[in-house]
Chain A
Amino acid sequence: MNPPMNAPMNPVPTLDIQGLHITLPGTARPVLDGVDLHVAAGETVALVGESGSGKTLTSRSALNLLPPGAVVDGAVRVSGQDVLTMNADQLRAVRTSTVAMIFQDPRAALNPLRRIGDFLTESVTLTRSMGQADATARATELLQAVGLDDSALHKYPGQVSGGMLQRVMIAAALMGDPVLLLADEPTTALDVTTQAEVIALLAELRERFGTGLLFVTHDLDLAAAISDRVYVMYAGRIVESGPAEVLFAQPRHPYTSALLASTPRLDAPQGRLAAIDGQPPDLRQELHGCPFAARCPLATEICDQQIPEALPAPGLPHHQAACHHTDRLEGSPVDA
């Protein structure tokens, strides 16, 4: 997917996270340890990582939705405004209109006792940014945009399928004309064919409304297929980032390369998978060097002692990897 041609060349990124550190009580190291990430207007960015890598926390930071007791350092700017320093009123404005979120399980995000129409209109009517009649008209329009008709307004969540409900969630997210959509594993609970439909819909809506999209997923192939740029997270750090096609064809971090090799896919050679031994580091464990060192085939002494900086690939300033031995990986994506 290319960025839409009519997207304004906005110098202020829609989302700009800089040096974000988050420490939770009872842990030996930060859950997020210096995360830098940006999403330009109308851009689709994928944030890829396994459970516990910090990808969900990163995306939630755009709404300042952080766990209680979190100690935060860094900046999270939405259209230039830092959400971490906002007062309650400003934050409410961001959460109701500027930034919207779609969750993994639509059934858990909707009140089963209220009609879909009420769910769609309540955010804008409660903030008085729209009257009930306007809100209903807008809800009908958006339901049509996501391929549903207005009969859905009167239904309860239990009366529609999971795929339809996820479309309702997308329509609800667009009610406040957000500049940024955070989608946290929005298709993980759906069947593959339904997933394709929801993705097609998100792409179409992005072109139509020029919304920036931060797509959080554990599925590398999905990330490659839909996004302009990809960030790969491991143990609270961005280990690699770059344009989707380059990053997957020529990964520069051993973790990205190992993840690609361990994915069972249709075009890979058959036989045993190249599994990554071991597990991600526990939060109770302090890290002095590269978080992936213990599982990395290329690791040497320096990897345990010094945290690698994110450095650009030669000739590709936007393709960065935080690895001491990225040169030893170059041109050799581990496929087998």
Chain B
Amino acid sequence: MPENALEAVGLHRTFGSVRAVDDVSFTLPEGGSLGIVGESGSGKTTAARIVVGLERADAGEVRVRGQVRSARSRGRAQRLARAREVQMVFQDPYLSLDPRTSVEAVLRETLRLHFPGTDHDQRVRELLDQVGLGTRAAEARPRQLSGGQRQRVAIARALAVEPAVLVLDEAVAALDVSVQAQILNLLADIREQTSIGYLFITHDLGVVRCVTDDVIVMRKGRIVEAGPTAEVLAAPQHPYTRLLLESVPRPGWDPEAIAAARRAL
């Protein structure tokens, strides 16, 4: 049986009186892709941040390739090892890169930090190639790149350490439709070539359908529905999932009925 890339068991997190994450469990098989959908305030980002280690869980545990990710890591070596397990790509490619560092230098810095004492030329070329960036882009600074190219750099940087899990927090939401499609295709290609697992945080059901095998729907910190993406989208069981699906604009769309349904829920 293949090992799970990621398991989250009974995660809880409260901020004051708000239960941001309330008994959330999920598993991501090796090479799998799991979507977390929900509105702002549903707890999807907090859950993702707990997985990455940017947020602490009050209860519950996260396992990567069967190993428990301890709440606090001791020492530099352990911190780096933790970083190699899970990497994250953020929404805004304009904010997640240092404006003074060239693309190649970003990748070299990451490689030097995690794999010191080896020659990285080959790996840098490989990574640039993998995300579809040419040698001209390698010398560029972030401001000379388009939004789509910057997101490719962020993905290359995350892939550099060969993580088990890549957490993508609304990673294509800020991109134009035509560029978004390029990045979604790129992510599909990378998943085919490697055994990396994706945890895809998004509010866009079209994107979820396109890139995930399984999906969980969160509302007010709790999982209201979970299952294979195709099944959940074709036959949603929970009224909230149905509301989310009906809210997607399409011809013959009835925003008034949705507004009424939302108030009723």
Binding site for B on A (CB under 8 A): 50-51, 162, 191-197, 199-201, 203-204, 218-222, 224-226, 244-245, 248, 258-259, 262-267, 270, 272-277, 279
- List residues of chain B with CB within 8 A of the CB of A274: 181
Within 8 A of A (CB), among B183-211: 184-185, 188, 203-207, 209-210
Interface residue from A200, A201, A225 paired with B251 (Cβ < 8 Å): A225
What is the bound-complex CA distance between A267 and B209, given in angstroms?
10
Closest to A262 in B: B181
Closest to A192 in B: B247
User: Contact between A279 and B205 (Cβ–Cβ < 8 Å)?
Assistant: no
What is the bound-complex CA distance between A179 and B57, given in angstroms?
53
What is the bound-complex CA distance between A50 and B181, given in angstroms?
13
Chain B interface mostly: helix
User: Contact between B248 and A193 (Cβ–Cβ < 8 Å)?
Assistant: no
What is the bound-complex CA distance between A20 and B250, given in angstroms?
31
Q: List 13 extra interface pairs beyond A248-B251, A273-B181, A273-B185, CB under 8 A.
A: A192-B244, A193-B39, A196-B262, A197-B259, A200-B255, A200-B259, A218-B176, A225-B252, A225-B253, A226-B249, A258-B178, A259-B177, A266-B206
Interface residue from A193, A219, A245, A262 paired with B244 (Cβ < 8 Å): A193
Nearest CB on A from B91, distance (A) = 12
- List residues of chain B with CB within 8 A of the CB of A199: 249, 255
With an 8 A cutoff between CB atoms, is B105 at the interface?
Answer: no
Interface residue from B182, B205, B247, B250 paired with A275 (Cβ < 8 Å): B182
User: Contact between B251 and A245 (Cβ–Cβ < 8 Å)?
Assistant: yes
What is the bound-complex CA distance between A194 and B38, given in angstroms?
12
With an 8 A cutoff between CB atoms, is B142 at the interface?
Answer: no
With an 8 A cutoff between CB atoms, is B9 at the interface?
Answer: no
Encoded as 1 (CB less than 8 Å from any A CB) or 0, chain B from 169 to 181 comes to 0000000111111
User: Contact between B207 and A266 (Cβ–Cβ < 8 Å)?
Assistant: no
With an 8 A cutoff between CB atoms, is B147 at the interface?
Answer: yes
> 20 A-B contacts, Cβ less than 8 Å apart?
A51-B176, A195-B249, A196-B247, A196-B253, A199-B255, A203-B255, A204-B256, A221-B250, A224-B250, A225-B249, A225-B253, A226-B253, A244-B251, A245-B251, A248-B251, A259-B178, A262-B178, A263-B177, A266-B206, A279-B179
With an 8 A cutoff between CB atoms, is B83 at the interface?
Answer: no
Nearest CB on A from B102, distance (A) = 20
What 9 A-B pairs have minimum CB-CB distances, sorted nearest first? A275-B181, A200-B255, A262-B181, A264-B206, A50-B176, A196-B258, A191-B39, A225-B249, A273-B181
Nearest CB on B from A162, distance (A) = 8
- List residues of chain A with CB within 8 A of the CB of B122: none
Closest to B38 in A: A191
- List residues of chain A with CB within 8 A of the CB of B148: 279
User: Contact between B249 and A221 (Cβ–Cβ < 8 Å)?
Assistant: yes
Closest to B245 in A: A266
What is the bound-complex CA distance between A225 and B249, given in angstroms?
6
Encoded as 1 (CB less than 8 Å from any A CB) or 0, chain B from 228 to 257 comes to 001001000000000111011111110110
